[in-house]
Chains A and B, each alone.
Chain A
């Protein structure tokens, strides 16, 4: 019986989620209702249609077009950026910040993305205290965030090939060995730095699983369920770290002290 009860409970929960999830994302998907998206068109043309909808102030239609492209597997920083703009104009702050973050991962040096992300964050309710890091750490972090994961991996790989080429040159031309030694030393340092930066980014992507609160307000519970105690409230746009998922609930953390469980539909991973 317990097994049967558990199965029934899971079915009911899934059914509830099937009903509630569309409601939760209804504003985002609102454009799907009225929009006739010409999916047969080229993706670039469809994105242009989304831009036209945005410029007509039909933001939900623009959101629908942009999301349809993403759902088909297309990925581009400008697509995320325009989607985030449309969300912001549609007053969906959490979704806007989420997509700005995604755009920033692909284009870390895009000034427009940074500016609009800062603007969106200025409208957040939650204030997250940030610690002032030492200047050296801040400088290294700035360099670290100059490139995205693919660019950092390519840079590391290129430097790695350069180290090999210089090493081979030193083997085949013993007379040049002293000359290439300094060059190789510098290249090795760069490879190590670039590799460490890439490793951190991959770790951040794979292990930390950062997420953004996309609903206007969510209560953080002490356990994965509504019956647990309410510990604090988060609002749209706040960044959290997703620790684990359990039965439609996500354990999220702002810090070691502030962590709890939220409904899985309240937080979207970046």
Chain B
């Protein structure tokens, strides 16, 4: 029931028709045979999503008889993004029997499907005369070992593209692993011992299928480019591969769904560890012939090209020019020596080193080695740089080749600063004192003064030091005076009494000779009243004589002086308010009396 369900699922999911593809591959199991021996040719037609595949069409093969040897089919299924797809393949086996020695060419084998034709690449088989040994040809160096103990399920081989080579000539070394069983885990590869060889690994090639004696194998290759470093018979030691294989053989079952079921349900199958080892290989290495070697030959073997270029061809003195010399070709570019460049007078040359850019391909190791030279022109003019020269030995043609590149023309203009030898500097050393003496005399000054008394004994100098003290005390006194003027009204009036009475007397003097003027009398009265008021801090305006007398008496003003003050006031008021004429003498007398009274009153300390 399970098997029926699976078949129903396949036919429901696979949709043949649109997008289907057909491919064809062909392989021969032998590359060299004797006349009359069998050549096994397998043609594998593979189609995706097709229930039936077209048959291949063989070309006419001359000098060989062709016999069909049956066919076998296989299918595989894969589940991608939830969709199930199927791939079917049919292997058509043929047996070819060569009838003539020489090169047997099997032309393109074609398959036509829906109008499109697919072709295989031509195959060639060397046919030798019967009885000829061809042991040097590549053959499996390890007999296939059967995982189940009976068949040739997996084996390894180690081959080279040549068994005779020159020192430093490139040899392609290929390790192949053939298997037709599933592996459990990643195989462990141990490269062969390569004493006497420079080894450069090549990029990994994708695995492919081949048919040997009617049995399809999956082939995995590991390739290297090796270069012998000395002459003689060198041995490439065996390579080893360890892997774990399934104990069951999926190809032994005829059930087309067996592989699919194993993929789903066979996860727990047990494996068996297998160790495969190749046979050792011997390489005959010859030295490069010394005869005919050009002087510039430094040991390069292979096939190369040489180029040279400059980054600029017009510079000034002292400006550097970079020359780039490149060697490109197939061979061991790592060991290429520097191409020869002739010296150029007037130029200083510096090597800036080299860089290697090597890459492997199907044909072996190829790449380039780039040398950079920096040259600095010391003088102006036209210069020819090069040519660069490089020689190598071509092993295919067995002759030396000499390559040249350049020369490059460089124009040098005069620079701003000439490059000359550095001036010699005197040797530095410490100053050495030869002798000591006194410093020289001083010139006569502009003026010579007699020695005076020492300043600290000078009286005026000492008195001068008192001035700051006096000034400070004066400032303090002045500050107190200002403060008292603001705070003490009586003090302020007393301080201004003299100034005011002088102004009044000045007015009186001005009107002294004016007989009709009343201003004279008014000035005298104001002078007297204002002075008494300011002196004793009294408000004398409107004050009667009695009140004035009492006030003055209370301030200990002598009676006689009080009488004189009052008399002076009475006379002044009488002259002011009574329009009787007063003579000039009387006015002068009155003025003198008033000044005398004020003077005596001013001296009184109340």
Contact = CB atoms under 8 A, between A and B. Distances in A.
Interface of A: 43-45, 47-48, 51, 54-55, 69, 72-76, 78-79, 81-82, 85-86, 88-89, 112, 115-116, 119-120, 149-150, 153-154, 157, 160-161, 163-165, 167-168, 171-172, 198, 202, 205
Interface in B426-458: 436-451, 454-456
A24 B445 CA distance: 31
Nearest to A115: B439
Contacts of A79: 448
Nearest to A156: B465
B445 A72 contact: no
B479 A172 contact: yes
A161 B468 contact: yes
Nearest to B480: A171
Nearest to A70: B451
Nearest to B441: A82
B498 to A, nearest CB: 25
Nearest to A45: B444
A74 B448 contact: yes
Interface stretch (B111-119, B150-158, B470-478): B470-478
Contact of A164 (B441, B447, B449, B468): B468
B265 interface: no
A75 B451 CA distance: 5
16 contacts: A43-B448, A44-B445, A48-B444, A54-B441, A74-B448, A74-B451, A85-B441, A112-B439, A112-B442, A115-B439, A119-B438, A149-B455, A168-B471, A171-B475, A172-B478, A205-B454
Contacts, number: 94
A103 B414 CA distance: 67
Q: Helix, strand, loop or mixed for chain A's interface? A: helix
A80 to B, nearest CB: 10
Nearest to A78: B442
A47 B468 contact: no
Contacts of B80: none
A85 B438 CA distance: 7
Contacts of A47: 444-445, 448
Q: Which residue, B437, B444, B455, has most C-beta atoms of chain A within 10 A?
A: B444
Contacts of A168: 471-472, 475
B438 A149 contact: no
A164 B444 contact: no
A33 to B, nearest CB: 22
Nearest to A168: B475
Contact of A160 (B443, B468, B475, B476): B468
A69 B461 CA distance: 27
A164 B447 CA distance: 35
Nearest to A169: B475
B464 interface: yes
Interface of B: 436-451, 454-456, 461, 464-465, 467-469, 471-472, 475-476, 478-479
Given A73-B450, A74-B451, 13 more contacts: A44-B444, A74-B450, A82-B442, A85-B438, A112-B442, A120-B438, A153-B455, A153-B456, A153-B461, A157-B464, A161-B467, A161-B468, A165-B468
B485 to A, nearest CB: 15
Contacts of A153: 455-456, 461
A167 B441 contact: no
Given A153-B455, A172-B479, A76 B438 contact: no
Contacts of B475: 167-168, 171-172
Given A51-B441, A112-B439, A157-B465, A171 B472 contact: yes
A81 B468 contact: no
Contacts of A112: 439, 442
Given A149-B456, A163-B468, A168-B475, A73 B451 contact: yes
A44 B455 contact: no
B446 A44 contact: yes
Contacts of B443: 48, 51, 78
Contact of B449 (A74, A82, A115): A74
B447 A44 contact: yes
Contacts of A45: 444
B468 A116 contact: no
A31 B465 CA distance: 46
A48 B441 CA distance: 11
A174 B436 CA distance: 64
A164 B450 contact: no
Contact of B469 (A86, A164, A165, A205): A164
Q: Which residue, A43, A115, A120, has most C-beta atoms of chain B within 10 A?
A: A43
Nearest to B470: A164
Given A149-B456, A171-B472, A171-B475, A75 B450 contact: yes
B454 A149 contact: yes
Contacts of A89: 438
A28 to B, nearest CB: 17
B46 to A, nearest CB: 103
A76 B454 contact: no
A51 B440 CA distance: 10
B478 to A, nearest CB: 8
A108 B345 CA distance: 71
B56 to A, nearest CB: 112
Contacts of B455: 149-150, 153-154
A171 B448 contact: no
A194 to B, nearest CB: 13
B467 to A, nearest CB: 8
Contacts of B468: 160-161, 163-165
A205 B454 CA distance: 10
Nearest to A163: B468
Contacts of A75: 449-451
B476 A171 contact: yes
A74 B461 CA distance: 21
| 3 tightest Cβ-Cβ pairs between the two chains A and B | A164-B468, A75-B451, A47-B444
Contacts of B476: 171
A171 B480 CA distance: 10
Contacts of B444: 44-45, 47-48, 51, 78
Nearest to B456: A202
A91 B489 CA distance: 84
A198 B469 CA distance: 20
B469 to A, nearest CB: 7
Contacts of A55: 441
Nearest to A69: B448
Contacts of A198: 456
Contacts of A167: 472, 475
Contacts of A154: 455
A47 B472 CA distance: 47
A183 to B, nearest CB: 15
A171 B449 contact: no
B449 A76 contact: yes
Given A157-B464, A157-B465, A164-B471, A78 B438 contact: no
Contacts of B478: 172
Q: Which residue, B441, B449, B456, B464, has most C-beta atoms of chain A within 10 A?
A: B441
A127 B465 CA distance: 44
Contacts of B439: 85, 112, 115-116
A79 B471 CA distance: 41
A165 B437 CA distance: 51
B472 A164 contact: yes
Nearest to B477: A171
